[in-house]
Amino acid sequence: MPNLKEKPCLSDFQRYVAELEHERGFIDQSTHDKCLLLGEEIGELFKAVRKAKGLKIDNNSNFGTIADELSDILIYICAIANRNNIDLEDAFREKEVKNKKRKWV
């Protein structure tokens, strides 16, 4: 079973997800598969937010807490990045360089 160190950085999360996918037999799922699963998790996040805000939900829906669903989303984001050889920390920093040049109105 993989272990995540106490104060992980983003690359630690990516490495952990790669190890857990291998261990759990998910390594053969494609980027396409992972994107579809990510979409499902985003829907579950929305349901968890609705529940937390007191909005009506289907009692037969299966979803966790907001924290649970955000964690699932992070796992899928790491998995998609791993399949495409993307270092998320580098990608984030590069994107923020671009974002800082944008005018937000």
Q: What is the pLDDT of residues 35-62, one digit of tens each?
A: 999 999 999 999 999 999 999 888 888 8
| Greatest Cα-to-Cα distance within the chain, rounded to the nearest angstrom | 47
Q: Which pLDDT score is estimated for 104?
A: 82
Q: Work out the mean pLDDT of the chain and round it to a whole number.
A: 95
Per the structure, how many domains does the chain have? 1
**pTM strictly above 0.85:** yes
Exposed, middle or buried, 27 (CB in 10 Å: 0-12/13-18/19+)? middle
10-13: long-range contacts, CB 8 A cutoff, minimum separation 24: 10/88, 10/89, 10/92, 11/87, 11/88, 11/89, 13/74, 13/78, 13/88
Exposed, middle or buried, 3 (CB in 10 Å: 0-12/13-18/19+)? exposed
Of 21-25, 44-48, 57-61, 88-92, give the lowest mean pLDDT range: 57-61
Whether 1 maps to a domain, the answer reads: no
Whether 105 maps to a domain, the answer reads: no
Q: Which domain holds residue 52?
A: 10-100
Question: Residue 1 above 90 pLDDT?
Answer: no
- As given in the structure block, the two tokens for residue 99 are 């974002």
CATH code for the domain in which residue 40 is found: 1.10.287.1080
